[in-house]
Amino acid sequence: MQTQFDNVVRMDGTIAVEQTNKVLRNTYMMLGLTMVPTVIGAFFGMSLDFAWAAQSPFMFAIGMLAVMFGLFYGISATRDSGLGVVLLLVLTGFMGVMLGPILQVALNLSNGTELVGLAAGGTGAIFLTLAGIATTTKKDFSFLGKFLMVGIVLLILASLANIFFQIPALSLTLSAVAVLLFSGFLLYDISRIVNGGETNYVMATLSVYLSIYNIFVNLLQLLMAFMGERD
């Protein structure tokens, strides 16, 4: 015999599923929107002269991180308001501008356009595959959290150190590790949304966007290293 308690549990479960689906749907919609300022920023970035950045790569990296973390803080603090969305779009525009140096190098290769396309297609394939796994299986991948955080800290430290050492083999290794690491973050973040661990679509979009961005950048670096053709 069905009790009133059963009805309440069923209703709460239905509401939770609807809320999760709403967050996931809004996240994907917002993710699509963030690509607009990213593309605009990338075109603008390709027109800039980043020679000064090559002369002071460490200061350039520190400055970029400072702007990024400042925007991260602002987005987190205003996540429940329209300002949070605006700051998220500002961040993605800035990230697009920061694609300028690598796109300039890539497009100077005779097959640069194809490599950028391959990197974009590969990133899309990784996203669709991992999003499909997280969404269909609904498995909780939260156990990856601590491992991924340790990994990202080590990756940042190693990347900053390699600015001084300039070891090509280490750069390629770090790019390969980054692709794997941010793929893990992608799976982790989408799993959190699907399982109700993230209920704010602005923060969810930020997390997923950063993973996609870093997968693209590092995949492009690997493709340029192994498949790049100079005139």
Q: Quick one: CA torsion of 170, 122, 112, 156, rounded to 10 degrees?
A: -30
Dist CA 174 CA 166 (whole Å)? 12
Whether 137 is covered by a domain: the verdict is: yes
Whether 81 is covered by a domain: the verdict is: no
Q: Quote the DSSP letter at residue 198.
A: -
Whether 114 is covered by a domain: the verdict is: yes
- Does the pLDDT value for residue 184 go beyond 70? yes
141-177 tens-digit pLDDT: 888 889 999 999 999 889 888 878 788 888 899 999 9
Whether 143 is covered by a domain: the verdict is: yes
pLDDT of residue 8: 41
Count: domains in the chain = 1
Instruction: Give the domain extent around 140.
Output: 4-37+101-227
- Does the pLDDT value for residue 218 go beyond 60? yes
Whether 23 is covered by a domain: the verdict is: yes
pLDDT of residue 12: 53
pLDDT of residue 4: 53
Whether 19 is covered by a domain: the verdict is: yes
- What SS3 string covers 50-71? CHHHHHCHHHHHHHHHHHHHHH
Whether 49 is covered by a domain: the verdict is: no
Angle between helices 112-137 and 201-227 (to 10 degrees): 140
Tell me the helices (H) and strands (E) count for the chain, helix number first: 9, 0
Structure tokens at 20: 């999760």
Whether 140 is covered by a domain: the verdict is: yes
Q: How far is CA 130 from the centre of its chain?
A: 13
